[in-house]
Amino acid sequence: MKPTPGTLLYLDVVEESLCFGWIDGIKKKISETQLAQRLSPRSQRSSWTELNKERVRRLEKLGFMHDEGRKVLPVMDPNAFIIDGVIEQRLKEDQQVYANFIAFPALYQKIRIDTIQSVKQQPALFQSRLDKFITNTKENKMYGQWHDNGRLWDD
């Protein structure tokens, strides 16, 4: 995927921000054809998605991370991720759902589950995301943004 002349890919902006310890924020339409994206320094207490953690792992391997970016990193141990018990129980209620889930790439599993767990304090949204995930998993369908157009696949 290439940007059109005079534009940047959102993903490139996110990755550059991560390298220096910044975070993307609110988008604002400034004209019919232009958006402005707020970027600001990330605090050490800010929450991190599993997707952004995976991006940082990739950027570190490529040698792009800077000390400023490393200073605000959370726990980066890939084994520290734990599936919430409610989600795990739902997955295991149906043998086909669980079999499909286990067969999905580990990266997909972690990123999809994280998008559900991150809204645990919002019961309606949590339930909606979990239901969508279970439905798609039962149909053996992977969905959503989870590998950055192939950038996050291991070589």
DSSP letters, 33-67, are S-EEEEEEEPPTT----HHHHHHHHHHHHTT---H
Are both 143 and 86 inside the same structural domain?
Answer: yes
Q: What is the pLDDT averaged over residues 37-58? A: 93
pLDDT of residue 124: 98
Is residue 75 situated within a structural domain?
no
Q: What is the pLDDT averaged over residues 86-104? A: 98
Name the average pLDDT for the chain.
Answer: 93
Are both 117 and 57 inside the same structural domain?
Answer: no
Write out the residue range of the structural domain in which residue 104 sits.
81-150
Are both 87 and 142 inside the same structural domain?
Answer: yes
Domain tally for the chain?
A: 2
pLDDT of residue 1: 63
18 neighbors 69 (Cβ within 8 angstroms): yes
Those residues with Cβ within 8 angstroms of residue 151's Cβ, 6 or more apart along the chain or in another chain: 11, 55, 58
- Asked whether residue 3 carries a pLDDT value surpassing 70, the answer given is no
pLDDT-derived band at 122 (thresholds 50, 70, 90) equals: very high
Are both 92 and 61 inside the same structural domain?
Answer: no
Are both 21 and 48 inside the same structural domain?
Answer: yes
Are both 57 and 92 inside the same structural domain?
Answer: no
Are both 100 and 65 inside the same structural domain?
Answer: no
Is residue 119 situated within a structural domain?
yes
- Asked whether residue 114 carries a pLDDT value surpassing 70, the answer given is yes
Query: How far are the Cα atoms of 2, 13, 94, 105, 134 from residue 88, in angstroms, in the given order?
Result: 38, 34, 11, 16, 11
The torsion region of residue 70 among left (phi > 0), alpha (psi -120 to 50) and beta comes to alpha
Are both 85 and 51 inside the same structural domain?
Answer: no
| Domain closes at, from 70, 101, 118 | 70
pTM of the full structure: 0.88
Q: What is the pLDDT averaged over residues 84-111? A: 97
- Asked whether residue 155 carries a pLDDT value surpassing 50, the answer given is no
pLDDT of residue 154: 66
Q: Which of 52, 57, 60, 58 is nearest to 22 (CA)?
A: 52
| Domain closes at, from 29, 51, 70 | 70
